[in-house]
Structure 1
Amino acid sequence: MAGGAAAAPGALLCALLWAVTAAAPGGGPAPGAFGRVYRGAVNISAERLYAFAYSSEPGQVDAVRVYVNSSSENLQYPVLFVVRQQKGVLSWQVPLIFRGLYQRTYNYQEVSRTLCPSEPAPETGPSDQIIFVDVASMAPFNIAYELLVTRLESFQLETNKPFNFTASPSQPQYFLYKFPQDVDSVIIKVVSDAVYPCSVVSVQDIVCPVYDLDHNVEFNGVYQSMTKQAAITVQRKDFPGEQFFVVFVIKPEDYACGGSVPSSIHGNVNRTWNLQRTKNLQVTIVPSIKKSVYIQAMLFSFLSFLSFYVGSVVVAFVHYIRVRRKASAERLSPESGSGIMTSSHPITASTPEGSSYGAIDESSSSGGRQLSSPERGPPAGSDTDSSVEEESDFDTMPEIESDKNVIRTKVFLYLSDLSRKDRRIVSKKYKIYFWNIITIAVFYALPVIQLVITYQTVVNVTGNQDICYYNFLCAHPLGVLSAFNNILSNVGHMLLGFLFLLIVLRRDILHRRAMEMKDVYTLDYGIPKHFGLFYAMGIALMMEGVLSACYHVCPNYSNFQFDTSFMYMIAGLCMLKLYQTRHPDINASAYSAYASFAVVICLAVLGVVFGKNDVWFWVIFSLIHVLASLALSTQIYYMGRFKMDGPDSDLGIFRRAAMVLYTDCIQQCSRPMYMDRMVLLIVGNLVNWSFAIFGLVYRPRDFASYILGIFICNLLLYLAFYIIMKIRSSEKLLPIPLFCIVATAVVWAAALYFFFQTLSSWEETPAESREKNRSCILLGFFDDHDVWHFLSAAALFFSFLVLLTLDDDLDTVRRDKIPVF
């Protein structure tokens, strides 16, 4: 009885085959054997039917592959192959036709397809399967064919075991993978030695039919185009059956991967081209990181930057202790003053004769009194605070005291010459920077966030992973986000930006208290304290983190400006702050500064769109760049007092410019009146003209980074000039700013090293970009670009501290002794 039961499945299968053969017209199907080549011919009145039977065990996945070939190239009468299975029908024709660009057709005589496997349920026991292969043609003459049906022995992929195979456009491949019990996420890594032919890697659920041809591979699952490398992260939760197919399709042409296309524009592509479309591939499936790694990475990110908060608290505490000790020592010393003056107390120290040419003497009506308390400001409507209450013993010319053309064109300028306006008015002017950048940030960030959410939704719904340019070998998903690590690494910009705001707020509060106490060192000594630009810089640093995170939700060609817009603003604000330090009365207004940034961002967008191939765009941009450099240089050289006007309407502009060039450069041909400024501006113009010539000649594809390079080089040049002039003027570098300068240089050098480790490039096709992908380098979670985010945030923070503390040594130096440069 037991023996009869064991033999029942085979007997039933034979009986079923016999019944089908007897009932079919023309003698029914011919029993087929796996691994045997069948040759024959078909026409309109003769077709062939083959039946292949096999038995499947529970838990065993049997895959069958059908290979067919026909020597006929007659497209009017192709050979038709129809494969019938238990759960579906698969059909194709030979020649198999693919269509490409410009109505090209690619015809293949050999076709090989893997049939959708069927897996019996465990409770049903072994099951018998039958496959029917029908060969037919409508041709009035015989067409020869070949048929080979085989059972695949290596159909299921295993974890951490590389598997090699070959595929072509007419012979796609796909394999099955089941999640092990202890693995929740895996990375499918595919490599090839050859760049071309272009291929597509797809991950699809266990559904029949399997979409494994060029025209339908994008219909299901997630997919990537590929040249030499591809990587797809797959999570167990996305597949209820805890298994999936990995599909490999070779495209009939390489245009999608950035390659060339056949020279023939119309008609059929020759057979030689088709024979070259075979590609050797290797697939390896490795486990991805576990949830504990996510927790470690988040703790590392936050604790690393919270350590900056601890360091800032320590420095503030040490400074507080030093101030308390100094105050105690002054109280104990009977000869020391309190350091507090009333608003009517003038500066009594006199300027040594000949030692401060260009400084404002205390005995004159525009001297020390104008440096004292802001409560003695100018009357309403006055441009400066040079008014006095008492008549001088000397007969002076009041118009000279207030004429900016006289004051700012002196050969040697001191800070007192350029800090004549009421402090409260100037502070309000600079606070506009802070309020405006908040407004800009809100109106800029909201549509950006909405757009990148839409991008991520489209990626998740369509499965098209060519939309976003990730480093797929180190892209760790979390929730709906495809690359959470690239977003998390931007937390440093937000944390350090907020810390910088707290540091500036502390200084602002201490300054206000000192102003209320009428501290003479606050009123009349050191660099005038205006914190509006510093607040704007802190907001800009935080927004850079927000927008960089938004960009990395789905980095691509269309939204790269999100990552760089606030970098332009940070560089511009730093230059404005550096200039404002010694020129508090004549710095640019917030409205003109932000309007300039808007123009730069517009140029960046136009450059991304038109800058690749449009020569005229580069000509116009280079011309604008050179003219803007000359105009800005003129304003800086003449302290804003160079007026391009004249009596003869518009012609006066050119007459004025020609007159200045003739008198200063040709007629006199002598040493420039403002030598230091001239040296800076000559070097700056040479650098900017070099950028303009480089852009015009080479036309770099990454236009946004090109503009950012211009800003950064100008900022570094001005900062270097400022520090050199500070040292030349016998000013000191205190330990804190010196430490910040060294830290800035070191951290920037390390950050730039990782920045130039290109891991992807939206300037190329998605497949070409993936050739640059590399594995994680930090905690198995962060890649090189994430390290750049960490280091650049720290570098920007130290750079801001340099600007904040660079002139702390001047807090006890009178303003009419601080030179302007």
Structure 2
Amino acid sequence: MSGSGAAVLAWALLAGALLPAPPVRPQPLPRGDRKVQEKEAQFNTTYIDWVDANLLNIYAFNHSVRRNRTEGVRVSVNVLSEHKDRPVLFVVRQKEAVVSFQVPLILRGLYQRKYAYQEVSRTLCQPQTKAEVETQHFYVDVSTLSLNTSYQLRVTRVENFVLRTDERFSFNATAAQPQYFKYEFPEEVDSVIVKVTSAMAFPCSVISIQDILCPVYDLDNNVAFIGMYQTMTKKAAITVQKKDFPSHSFYVVVVVKTEDEACGGALPFYPLSKDASPDEPVDQHNRQKMLEVMVSPAITSEAYVRSVLFCLGIFLSFYILTLLIACWESCRQHRRKGLLAAMDSPSLDTGHSRSIPDSFLNHGPYDSYGYGSFGNGSSSSTEGVTDSLGSAEVSYSYVGERSLENVASRPRLDSLSSVEEDDYDTLADIDYDKNVIRTKQYLCVADLARKDKRVLRKKYQIYFWNIATIAVFYALPVIQLVITYQTVVNVTGNQDICYYNFLCAHPLGNLSAFNNILSNLGYVLLGLLFLLIILQREINYNRALLRNDTHALECGIPKHFGLFYAMGTALMMEGLLSACYHVCPNYTNFQFDTSFMYMIAGLCMLKLYQKRHPDINASAYSAYACLALVIFFSVVGVVFGKGNTAFWIVFSVIHIVATLLLSTQLYYMGRWKLDSGILRRILHVLYTDCVRQCSGPMYVDRMVLLVMGNIVNWSLAAYGLIVRPNDFASYLLAIGICNLLLYFAFYIIMKLRSGERIKLIPLLCIISTSVVWGFALFFFFQGLSTWQKTPAESREHNRDCILLDFFDDHDIWHFLSSIAMFGSFLVLLTLDDDLDCVQRDKIYVF
């Protein structure tokens, strides 16, 4: 051999020594070492047998399958020995699937807790057949690695495996003995609702809708892998559409969970005995639940069309009614103008105003009408009367400076481009003038309407533009988020994400509850109608200014429309965001449904205050900042407020302090200062008014309102601190609504005490709106679902549709509350129409 050949051979031997040896293929056990027993088995026969490590039992079954008839086959086993460390393995071999499970069956719960079940029953899925009749075979293999183990085996046919439409079927289920049934869509049915009920709240169970596939996921640890599913205590309902299942059939799977924590139940103590190890499975024998299932046809497409037309018809009728009233009012105004032209004697007070009696100079403005004040009858100075021409609506200060002819000849629609919001007053000594005017005992609207109308118009227009900006930046991420929620629900099938009224949830496209979204249309349409009404009023007012109409210039409550536009926009946004919330209502997005409710309540209070205090009303920036703070507390309260004592203490203190500060602001008309000397001034006032001389408050009527307001707010703060309601968002909204109602009632009472009257249209609006609010609140408190509980507990409150088989109680709340809000806005708009021909120095401030 040459030298090179020897070298190659040496390298080959060395490489062979370094490489690992090839694996040795294990040799199968001889047939004599492991026995295989195959037995021909029959249905409905109980086989008591044994198995060990050296024995494999095979049971061969066969049955006839018909193409037009579906039968379920159920395998039930019970292991009699207690070797939990070496379970018995059962393998069921079918035509298109293999199902295997061990006994004891080990299922895991929360925190990886283990639960063992000795008795196990499983239903076999039935493969489809194209032949008219086909004999199918399946085998049950039983094996173990333990010593001699006894067991029972029984295979039966499932009666009523196919559910019939509108027929109830009762059955029992456990965690190790799940049940599922098949439902086939009839030809004329496109959608059905599967309702499962139980008289027992616990044990917690899961309802799943799955396609006709093998294997069927029917255990607690895999039921969520496919299809749609819900947790359940006493009620569950899932709407199923034929188009989602190619075979036009599906399985209804019912599984009992190993623990009740998912349904709001208590987590059991674990381990159950002192000697038990945390890793040792716990036996569960009594977790059995009786249930009842029924499949009913859902509504047809004609019901969708009928419901949409019904919804549109209701709210479009308001447009028609408004148009008819506008035409009637226009005709009435034309007749009135013709009558005045015929008389040729126009007057500011003709038929509508009243003159100030001489006693007004010596008595309070309310005493002149024989009503008296709430407190001691105290006299006022002649400062209570101010010439109406002092109003800034005419851009001039006093009659001595300008004649009425010069005032009337001035154009009223000035450009706003050169006017800044900081240009508050036209008086040089404005600070002194504010102290003189606003601290009078009795005020008229002319005293608080002295600012330039162009400045005020721009100031209140900011309300509209700010809320429009807020709406855009708020709504876009909300829409994106709820679309993501709906996508997650559709992809995962987890219907516990959203808190619908599942007994009346009608899907459309990708939306799971179209009816809850459609019913919010009223907010949008009526909000738009209110904006159109405000636009028409503003156009008429601007035309009157161009005509130099004396009534528009010097009479009535000063017309500012910015807050009305903001209110209409807020109503439309409430509808949009409520619809977004109802795409997938749950714990994390509830503030979408309430944010603009806070804004509506706040804007209504500001508008009511603006009517008599146009010069000193809050700016848009401070108002929206306060509303943003309210929404912030709403979110914090929903997330951290439940059972948190520290949060409730802090919130109650802030609530009371804010009430006191606002009361001081309203009582002194803003003529006070929060600085280091505030305590000294408070003590001085208490000493002079309460100690040195015991005299009543200077502004009695204002004091009555503020005392009542403080009583209400302090009571609400105490209620929150003591009861700590779970629904903090609704509690916060109740605070705003109570304050709004209190102020509105005070306004109505003071208006009547001042000798003013309520015209027919606002009176009808007040009465009808109150009735509608009453019915709306009745349907609101029905409580069809609640995200304060678990999804399973929330479904216990679900109820069937009550209107057109399409709308539920909450949808009717949407209808009625949108109408009631629209009516409330009309009340604010028309409440002071009786003062349109009354000079502003004869309209009292309260």
Q: Same fold (TM over 0.5)?
A: yes
Q: Is 1:324–2:323 an aligned residue pair?
A: no
1:360 aligned to which of 356, 379, 386: 386
State the secondary structure of the residue aligned to 2:435: helix
Q: Kindly, what percent of the aligned residue pairs are identical?
A: 59
Q: Give the structure 2 partner of residue 384 of structure 1.
A: 425
Q: 1:101 aligns with which of 93, 110, 122?
A: 110
Give the partner amino acid of 2:303.
V
Q: 2:162 aligns with which of 156, 174, 186?
A: 156
Q: Indicate whether 1:705 and 2:730 are aligned.
A: yes
Q: Cα gap change, 1:227/1:129 in structure 2, threshold over 3 Å: closer, same or farther?
A: same
Conservation of the 8 A alpha-carbon contact between 2:206 and 2:255:
yes
Taking a change above 3 Å as real, the CA distance of residues 271 and 448 of structure 1, as seen in their structure-2 partners, is closer
Q: Which residue of 1 aligns with 2:204?
A: 198
**1:520 aligns to 2:529 (yes or no):** no
Amino acid across the alignment from 1:742 = I
In structure 2, how many angstroms separate the alpha carbons of the residues matched to 1:270 and 1:682?
66
Residue 341 of structure 2 corresponds to residue 300 of structure 1: no
Work out whether residues 740 and 802 of structure 1, in 8 Å CA contact, stay in contact via their aligned partners in 2. yes
Q: What's the C-alpha RMSD, in Å, of the aligned pairs? A: 2.5
Residues 1:491 and 2:521 aligned together = yes
Deviations 1:229-281 (A, max 9, x none): 00000000000110000000000110000001212258479999722210000
Give the alignment partner of residue 38 of structure 2, picking from 26, 29, 39.
29
Matched, 1:688 2:713: yes
- Looking at structure 2, the residues matched to 219 and 23 of structure 1 have their Cα atoms a distance apart, in angstroms, of 43
For residues 740-793 of structure 1, the C-alpha deviation after alignment (integer angstroms, 9 at most, x for no partner) is 100110000000000000000000000000000000000000000000000000
1:627 aligns with 2:657: yes
Question: Is residue 84 from structure 1 mapped to residue 93 from structure 2 by the alignment?
Answer: yes
For 2:472 and 2:423, how far apart are their aligned partners in 1? Answer: 36
Deviation at 1:500, TM superposition (A): 0.2
Q: For 1:118, give the aligned amino acid.
A: P
Instruction: After TM superposition, give the deviation of residue 403 of structure 1 in Å.
Output: 1.6
Q: Does 2:611 match 1:581?
A: yes
Whole-Å separation in 2 of the counterparts to 1:526 and 1:760: 48
1:224 aligns with 2:214: no
Which residue identity is paired with 1:150? T
Q: How does 1:577-726 map to 2 (within 5 A)?
A: 577-645=607-675, 650=676, 652-726=677-751
Aligned partner (choices 240, 248, 268) of residue 242 of structure 1 = 248
Number of equivalences = 774
Task: Tell me which amino acid in the other structure corresponds to 1:760.
Answer: S
The correspondence for 2:213, drawn from 207, 228, 235, is 207
2:287 matched to which residue of 1? 277
SS in 2 for 1:186: strand
- Asked if 1 retains the 8 angstrom alpha-carbon contact of 2:419 and 2:454, the reply is no
Residues 205-241 of structure 1 deviation map (CA, whole Å, 9 limit, x = unaligned)? 0110000000000000000000000000000000011
Separation in 2 of the partners of 1:436 and 1:503?
Answer: 21
Please point out which of 131, 140, 165 is paired with 2:138.
Answer: 131
Contact 1:262-1:269 within 8 A present in 2 as well: no
Letter in 1 for 2:101: W
Contact 2:34 2:55 in 1 (8 A): no
Contact 1:360/1:366 (8 A) holds in 2: no
1:468 is aligned, of 481, 498, 505, to: 498
Are residues 1:738 and 2:745 paired?
Answer: no
Contact persistence 1:776–1:784 (CA under 8 A): yes
Cα separation, 1, equivalents of 2:685 and 2:522: 50
Residue 55 to residue 669, structure 1, CA distance change in 2 (3 Å): same
**CA 1:88–1:422: 2 relative to 1, 3 Å:** same
Partners of 1:644 and 1:656 within 8 A in 2:
no
CA 375–110 in structure 1, closer or farther in 2 if over 3 Å, else same? same
In the TM superposition, 1:334-483 aligns within 5 A as: 334=344, 336-337=345-346, 352=358, 354-355=360-361, 357=382, 358-361=384-387, 367=398, 383-385=424-426, 403-483=433-513
**Aligned pair in 2 of structure 1 residues 271, 154: CA closer, same or farther (>3 Å)?**
farther
Counterpart pick for 1:788 among 789, 804, 813? 813
| Secondary structure in 1 matching 2:55 | coil
Letter in 2 for 1:291: S
Listed one character per residue, the Cα deviations across residues 650-694 of structure 1 (whole Å, up to 9, x for unaligned) are 3x2332333334433444332111111101001101111111111
Whether contact under 8 Å (1:751, 1:788) holds in the other structure is yes
Structure 1 position 152, deviation (Å): 1.4
Partners of 2:354 and 2:698 in 1: CA distance: 32
Residue in 1 aligned with 2:125?
A: 116
Of 370-379 and 413-422, more deviation after overlay is shown by 370-379
Q: Which of 307, 312, 321 in structure 2 is aligned with 1:311?
A: 321
**Given that residues 36 and 55 in structure 2 are in contact (C-alpha distance below 8 angstroms), is that contact kept between their aligned partners in structure 1?**
no
Alpha-carbon distance between aligned partners in 1 of 2:837 and 2:653, rounded to the nearest angstrom: 46
2:845 is aligned to 820
Which moves more between the two structures, 262-271 or 92-101?
262-271
- Whether contact under 8 Å (1:386, 1:401) holds in the other structure is no
Give yes or no for the alignment of 1:802 onto 2:822.
no
CA distance in 2, matches of 1:89, 1:362: 94
Counterpart CA distance in 1 for 2:354 and 2:70 is: 98
Contact 1:433–1:533 under 8 Å retained in 2? yes
What TM-score do you get using the length of structure 1 for normalisation?
0.91
CA distance in 1, matches of 2:776, 2:643: 31
What residue in structure 2 maps to residue 396 of structure 1?
none
**One-letter amino acid of the counterpart of residue 756, structure 1:** F
Call closer, same or farther: CA 1:90–1:401 in 2, change over 3 Å. closer
Residue identity opposite 2:102 in structure 1:
Q
Matches of 2:229 and 2:91, distance apart in 1: 27
Query: Residues 452 and 554 of structure 1 are in contact (CA less than 8 Å); yes or no, is this contact kept in structure 2?
Result: yes
SS at match of 1:29: strand
Q: 1:272 to 1:192 in 2, by over 3 A?
A: farther
- Alpha-carbon separation, structure 2, partners of 1:100 and 1:366: 80
Q: Which amino acid aligns with 1:817?
A: K
Deviation at 1:27, TM superposition (A): 5.8
Match of 1:289 among 286, 299, 304: 299
- Relative distance call for 1:25 and 1:50 in structure 2 (3 A) is farther
Larger CA deviation: 517-526 vs 354-363: 354-363
Give the aligned residue type for 1:732.
Answer: R
| Alpha-carbon contact 2:37-2:55 (below 8 Å) kept | no
- How far does the alpha carbon of each residue in 1:340-372 deviate from its partner, in whole angstroms, 9 at most, with x for none? 9xxxxxx99887464465121479995557996
8 A contact 2:348–2:839 mirrored in 1: no
Q: Is the 8 A contact 1:47 1:135 kept in 2?
A: yes
Question: Structure 2 counterpart of 1:705, which letter?
Answer: S
After TM superposition, the score normalised by the length of structure 2 is: 0.88
Partner deviation per Cα, 1:37-66 (whole Å, 9 max, x = no partner): 101111111231111111112212232100
**Where in structure 1 are there 5+ consecutive unaligned residues?**
1-21, 341-346, 388-398
Shift of 1:138: 0.3
Q: Using the alignment, how far apart are the partners of 1:752 and 1:209 within structure 2?
A: 49
